[in-house]
Amino acid sequence: MSPFTNALNAPISASWTIRPMRDGDHAAVLRLNEGSRPEVWPLAETDLSNLLAFGGYHLVAVDTEEHVLGYLLSFPYTSRYDDAEIREFRRLIAEPFLYICQVVIASEHRRHGIGRAFYDAVADHAQRAGIQALCCDVNTDPPNPTSLAFHHTLGFKQITERRASNGFVIALLVKKMGSRQS
């Protein structure tokens, strides 16, 4: 079992915690997003507000002073969120899934377990909700080999590759919940 499977809001590390995203986190999320392009789709305040209006399961990692170190946006297959990628997952996957739309961690906080903690929290949520798969996409052109390697380590498998609306080529990845790794 991973050391990051503690209940949400419980300290996961001596220096940071994973918790649900709050309205007061938006400015920090937008700053992190801006600093992580082209790896993630750019968001303005209205974009973020529109995304959050679709519901979903959205998390932040915060330090002991509540500074946001990273964020994760995800949407269930039943969400009204309807970009091309989630539509493609709906077409390809019959069972209930959770689509992980964006994950960003501040560069100085990468490789400290935050990404794995995000994915463990999402997997725990999905299992409690009866969701059978986690889905996400990762850029392959421009390449994002670090993200691809991370997802493969967690048990994600590529099911196809396609051109996104921004012109990037992306790999669509799926992890069946029965294949959880720690």
pLDDT digits (tens, 9 = 90+) for 85-107: 999 999 999 999 999 999 999 99
Give CA separation, 176 vs 59, 64, 93, in Å: 21, 33, 10
In a domain, 87, yes or no: yes
Among residues 42, 52, 39, the alpha carbon closest in space to that of 110 is found at 39
Query: Which CATH number is 52's domain given?
Result: 3.40.630.30
- Domain span including residue 65: 16-130
Instruction: Identify each DSSP E strand in the chain by its residue range.
Output: 16-20, 59-63, 68-76, 97-105, 133-141, 157-163, 169-176
Q: Tally the domains of the chain.
A: 1
pLDDT digits (tens, 9 = 90+) for 158-170: 999 999 888 899 9
pLDDT digits (tens, 9 = 90+) for 33-84: 998 887 788 899 999 999 999 999 999 999 999 999 999 999 999 999 999 9
pTM of the model as a whole: 0.88
Q: Is the pLDDT of residue 7 over 50?
A: no
In a domain, 84, yes or no: yes
In a domain, 172, yes or no: no
In a domain, 85, yes or no: yes
In a domain, 150, yes or no: no
In a domain, 63, yes or no: yes
Q: What is the pLDDT of residue 8?
A: 54
Instruction: With residue 125 as reference, give the H or E element that holds it.
Output: helix 114-128
In a domain, 11, yes or no: no
Q: Would you give the distance in Å from CA 56 to the centre of its chain?
A: 11
